[in-house]
Amino acid sequence: MRTNRPYPEKGKDRGVIVDYWGVFDRLQAAFAEFSLEDVEMAVLDLQSLKDSFPTLVAEALALVAGMPGNDDEYEQMMWLLRRFMGDKAAAESFEQRFQAAQSAYETLAPDPALLPHLDDYRRLVRVRALWRRGARLDDRDSDFDIREYRPHTHALVQEAVAVERLRRDLPIYRIDGQYLQRLEEAPGSPEEKAAEVEAAIEYEIRARGGDKDPVARSLAERLERIRRQKEEADADMLSLLEDLVGDWAAEKEAHEALGLSERAQGFLSLTRAQAPAGLGDDALVDLARRLDEAVAKHATVSDWAERDDVRRDIRGEAMRTLLADEQTRSFVTPAFLDELMTVATARESTTA
């Protein structure tokens, strides 16, 4: 028996075993000694994988049946947003089916048995790229990221998707003062535009650190309230989302006018929620800025958020900053310092 082992560091998550002596003929009897959970997916028969590949692709594509068949990729992207933003279970199922198809393709390529199904797989790769583009699910500040595909599929992505054209012809934007105007000028139905706004808001939440950041947490809570309104009263989703976007853009511009980083904005929201009586907003803005400087002083290496020594130094620096002013000493509690450190590292976990 000869083994070609996995090499995760190079994106190779499986190995190939060549059985010269017929050991696999007794494989099921050997596996009978173990629980099903322990041996599930331990070994796959290549012929079975070849037979299942077209089914895996078809099952994924079945979830996007009805997508416009023309060459207008913006229209297709908006359709996909409407399809999946309103049905997160379907979006999760699509991703799972894509991953299963990709895993099979990576194991089999370049087997000639794949050739009759390459067009369908290429279409699936393209559809997923459009969906992830619109939903801002890729890394690099929501830009299309080809690096997350496995090697053989990576090559197909380059064939199926002209990356530079995708960036040029399918622009996506972060929410700012001009976002609503750009949305109004863009093509798409009200339902599709509502899905686009929802995707943009979800990206803002993720980019700021999600539940770890009080600003992002507040935005997520407001988005969830709108979703409940839609479910309970069939409200005009687009109008509600546009109101939220307008408020959020104004809040961002107000924070930027104060000269605060996103991390400092998180500190400001945190201290505002727990400020003692008599501590004015100007003092809180100054405190947020000084706490941000305390983090920056020690966060000088790329993996600082994962290093206990750096986190300990930052916590100590923040404590000294708070103790230096009699008005801010009441903040020095274990619970507040824990939350402060969560805010400090929130965006680091989204970019790691």
pLDDT tens per residue across all 352 residues of the chain: 445 566 655 555 566 666 666 666 666 666 566 665 555 545 556 778 888 999 999 999 999 999 988 768 889 999 999 999 989 999 999 999 999 998 888 888 888 888 899 899 989 988 998 898 889 887 544 455 555 666 667 566 656 555 556 666 666 778 888 999 988 988 889 999 999 999 999 988 988 888 888 888 889 999 999 998 888 877 788 999 999 999 989 988 888 888 888 899 899 989 988 898 889 999 999 999 999 999 999 999 988 999 999 999 999 999 999 999 999 999 999 999 999 999 998 866 544 4
Q: Does residue 186 sit within a domain?
A: yes
Are 34 and 129 in a shared domain?
Answer: no
Has residue 174 been placed in a domain?
Answer: no
Contacts of residue 81, defined as CB under 8 A and 6 or more positions apart, other chains included, come to: 131, 134, 135, 192, 195, 196, 199
List own/partner pairs for 76-79 with CB under 8 A and 24 or more apart.
76/127, 76/130, 77/130, 77/131, 77/133, 77/134, 77/170, 78/134, 78/187, 78/188, 78/189, 78/192, 78/193, 78/195, 78/196, 79/192
Instruction: Answer with the one of 169, 189, 219 that is the final residue of a domain.
Output: 169
Q: Which of residues 224, 257, 290 is at a domain's end? A: 257
Q: What is the pLDDT of residue 129?
A: 87
Look up residue 221 and give its amino acid.
Answer: E
- State whether 95 and 28 are in the same domain: no
The answer to whether 202 and 172 have CB atoms below 8 angstroms apart is no
Q: Are residues 22 and 97 in the same domain?
A: no
Q: Is residue 271 part of a domain?
A: yes
| 151, 64: one domain | yes
Domain boundary among 112, 140, 169: 169
Q: Is 346 helix (H, G, I), strand (E, B) or coil?
A: helix
Q: Do 8 and 71 sit in the same domain of this protein?
A: no
Query: Partners of 18 in the beta sheet?
Result: 2
My answer on whether 51 and 150 are in the same domain is yes
CA quadruple 140, 142, 146, 150: dihedral sign: positive
Confidence (pTM): 0.70
The pLDDT value recorded for residue 89 is 95
**Residues sharing a CB contact under 8 Å with residue 166, sequence separation 6 or more, in sequence order:** 73, 129, 130, 133, 144
Q: Do residues 155 and 195 share a domain?
A: no
137 in the same domain as 28 = no
As for how many domains the chain has, the answer is 4
Question: Does 17 reside within a domain?
Answer: yes
Residue 146 resides in a domain: yes
- Assign 67 to helix, strand or coil: coil
Residue 142 included in any domain: yes
Residues 16 and 121 placed together within one structural domain of the fold:
no
Residue 162 and residue 51 share a domain = yes
Helical (H) or strand (E) element with 264? helix 262-274
Look up residue 30 and give its amino acid: A
* Residue 149, in any domain of the structure: yes
CA-to-CA distance for 258 and 271, rounded, in angstroms?
16
Q: How many CB atoms lie within 10 A of CB 287?
A: 22
Do 109 and 155 reside in the same domain of the chain?
Answer: yes
Domain hosting 155: range is 46-169
Q: Could you tell me if residue 283 is inside a domain? A: yes
Both 61 and 150 in one domain: the answer is yes
